[in-house]
């Protein structure tokens, strides 16, 4: 794995370009990694629905559990599935729409300065060894490419949108991630 800093794409990742992104503010490099958990439908893994949501091709009429997603325009930079495979939807040079209303260390609009990493999972399922293995490779690669991502700037969605978001959830093992990456757990 290696980041091409000029293009913002991660070598070794599958590419599935999302239309849901925008430019970062001029001169803004990523300085935060936000970890999320996602499953569609909730608690179910392995289907095509996350990719469809991020690429604006999800037919929200196919399942009544999707109706609340109608018109939603979201994306993340990366998705790590249960097998540890990585898909990139948005270049790191651009602003993915993953954080919503958020702030970190007194700075609002986390989408402007963060990299969003979705983990296929949910609040009530442990993440897989393959996902932790992938993160333990990925996070040092991202921190090398973007040195402003300090050891204490790898957080969960729950940390930047408290009260509104709970992911990656109580089953996410921050100590395990820290042991393999040198980050400071939130």
What residues are labeled active site?
Answer: 118
Q: Choose among 34, 40, 30: nearest CA to 3.
A: 30
Establish how many alpha carbons lie within 13 A of residue 28's alpha carbon, considering only the half-sphere containing its beta carbon.
18
For residue 141, what is the enclosing H or E element? helix 129-145
> For residue 12, what are the contacts with CB-CB under 8 A and spacing of at least 6?
1, 2, 86
Residue 95, classed as helix, strand or coil, is strand
Is 36:118 a contact under the CB 8 Å cutoff?
Answer: yes
Phi, psi of 53 (to 5 degrees): -60, -45
For residue 32, how far is the Cα from the chain centroid?
11
């Amino acid at each position: 794995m290696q980041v091409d800093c000029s293009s913002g794409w991660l070598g070794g990742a599958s590419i599935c370009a999302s239309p849901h992104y925008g430019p970062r503010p001029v001169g803004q490099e990523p300085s935060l990694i936000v970890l999320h958990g996602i499953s569609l439908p909730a608690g179910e893994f392995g289907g095509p629905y996350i990719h469809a949501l991020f690429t604006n091709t999800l037919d929200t009429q196919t399942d009544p559990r999707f109706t609340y997603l109608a018109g939603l325009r979201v994306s993340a930079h990366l998705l790590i599935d249960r097998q540890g495979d990585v898909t990139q939807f948005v270049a790191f040079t651009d602003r993915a729409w993953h954080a919503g209303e958020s702030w970190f260390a007194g700075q609002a609009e986390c989408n402007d300065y963060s990299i969003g990493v979705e983990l296929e999972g949910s609040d009530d399922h442990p993440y897989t060894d393959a996902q932790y293995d992938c993160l333990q490779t990925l996070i040092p690669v991202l921190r090398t490419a973007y040195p402003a991502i300090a050891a204490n700037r790898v957080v969960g969605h729950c940390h930047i949108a408290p009260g509104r978001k709970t992911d990656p959830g109580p089953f996410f093992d921050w100590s395990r991630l820290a042991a393999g990456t040198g980050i400071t757990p939130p």
